[in-house]
Amino acid sequence: MTIEAIYKTIKSKGNRLSRVRKAIIETLFESPCLLSTSEILSALKSRNIAPNRSTMYRELMFLSHNSIIIKNTICHKDYFELPTDHHHHLVCTNCNSIKKVVIGRHLQKQEKQLEKENGFTITGHSIEFYGICKNCRINSV
């Protein structure tokens, strides 16, 4: 998905593409994975856009409610990313680092099975694996 396609989706729903809104999408587009609220805020500052925290939070809520971006709460902290390439996360409970991982196709099979068994239509999922990362394991020895 291109960034223009994302802008188009927003406009087609009759929504404004404000400077802050555009900058948030650009920031997330350039990031391969989840960004925290403060990471987004500092990325915006480096673009000379400095919305206050509540304005930015309102924007993030608007974009996630409209399924333009994904909101993910990990260890009580909110993170955001674009749904452009589907993946999952390894979360270190020691240093709170998040690593992007891709799981094989057997997950899709499992989804099909779950839909069949429960008469349920799955529209998406979010999977996080919690544990201790390589760095923390090495440092704890």
Contacting residues toward Zn ion, per CB under 5 A? 33-34, 81, 92, 94-95, 97, 100, 133, 136
Find out whether 36 and 42 touch, Cβ atoms under 8 Å.
no
Q: Cβ closer to Zn ion: 33 or 74?
A: 33
Number of CB atoms found within 10 A of residue 19's CB: 11
Q: Cβ closer to Zn ion: 28 or 133?
A: 133
Find out whether 59 and 51 touch, Cβ atoms under 8 Å.
yes
CB of 30 to Zn ion, least distance (A): 13
CB of 67 to Zn ion, least distance (A): 16
CB of 88 to Zn ion, least distance (A): 8
Q: Cβ closer to Zn ion: 38 or 97?
A: 97
Q: Cβ closer to Zn ion: 49 or 88?
A: 88
Token pair of 100 as six digits = 């992007």
Say how far apart CA 46 and CA 120 lie, in whole Å: 44
CA atoms within 13 A on the CB side of 67: 4
CB within 8 Å of 7: residues ≥ 6 apart: 17, 22, 25
CB of 78 to Zn ion, least distance (A): 13
